[in-house]
Amino acid sequence: MVQPARQPQGFQLLEQNPRYAIYFVPAEDTNLYRFGASILGYDCYTGEDAHFAGDLEIEPRVWTEMTEDPRRYGFHATLKAPFYLSPSCTEAQLSNAIANFAALARTAPTFKPAIRLLKDFIAIVPRRRQSAIDRLAADCVTLFDAYRAPMSPQERARRVAAGLNAGQISHLDRWGYPYLFEDFRFHMTLTGRISVERRDVVITALEKLFARSCGDTPIAIDQLTLLRQDSPQSRFRVISHAKIGSSIG
């Protein structure tokens, strides 16, 4: 894989550029993706609003507020957190690098899903931690870091102010994101922050809908997806995806 050299660029100018992210986003024709898009109210393949699930048993206005933050990112699991592109790279180069990496011989990791509370939000997670998923995420963090522009001092200060420990600050300075490797946990976010008194009701509603939509079928992390956010106010949208283990052609 080509490792482009970094070049300095004014941070103020840089932050006017799009941000990119490397996620696992299920294929758009799957029950899993349709479920996730209907929960968040956004389809990151089309860039359009999606109809909310009709039987959430929660007031639509409340649900819209609960999902406001994750809606901006679309239904996904993070493999390489959002970053600005290095000025020495192009979107096409990054997309091609992802396709080449995805085509390397490897088996797509699979997991049995569960809906769980993570701190103060709800997500789909593996029932048990799997080393193959952790390795895939770690590879994405490290191999695609050459395409990332350096973090701005403002972004670093904002992250550090969230109360990071020494290891997380080290990851932030080296890789541009603090929650990596030992702090990484694969998850597909379904809500933003939820108050304590609402958590049980929301988890129960999501478990019912998920069982009806997806059953107990294992989830295969079978593709890498590149998304772009054109401005800080806009939502992320899929621009390319590559099947894991597929051939280039």
pLDDT surpassing 60 at residue 120: yes
pLDDT surpassing 90 at residue 2: no
Q: What CATH number is associated with residue 175?
A: 3.90.1140
**pLDDT tens string 129-153:** 999 999 999 999 999 999 999 998 9
Yes or no: say if 85 and 91 are a contact pair by the CB < 8 Å rule.
Answer: yes
Cβ neighbours around 16 below 10 Å, total = 10
Say if 12 falls within a structural domain: no
**pLDDT tens string 45-85:** 999 999 887 777 788 888 899 999 999 999 999 999 999 99
Q: What is the 3-state secondary structure (H, E, C) of 25-58?
A: CCCCCCHHHHHHHHHHCEECCCCEECCCCCCCCC
Amino acid identity, position 116: R
| Burial status of residue 240 (CB atoms within 10 A of its CB: 0-12, 13-18, 19 or more) | middle
- Residue 13: the pLDDT is 59
Say if 175 falls within a structural domain: yes
Say if 65 falls within a structural domain: no
| Domain of residue 225, residue span | 17-24+77-243
Distance CA 39, CA 56 (A): 9
Distance CA 161, CA 86 (A): 25
- Residue 16: the pLDDT is 77
Say if 55 falls within a structural domain: no
Say if 50 falls within a structural domain: no
Q: What is the pTM of this model?
A: 0.90
Confidence label for 246 from pLDDT (cuts 50, 70 and 90): low
pLDDT surpassing 90 at residue 164: yes
Say if 220 falls within a structural domain: yes
Say if 48 falls within a structural domain: no
Q: What angle do CA 196, 197, 201 make, to 5 degrees?
A: 105
Number of domains in the chain: 1
**pLDDT tens string 28-44:** 999 999 999 999 999 99
- Residue 5: the pLDDT is 41
Chain length of the chain: 249
Say if 31 falls within a structural domain: no
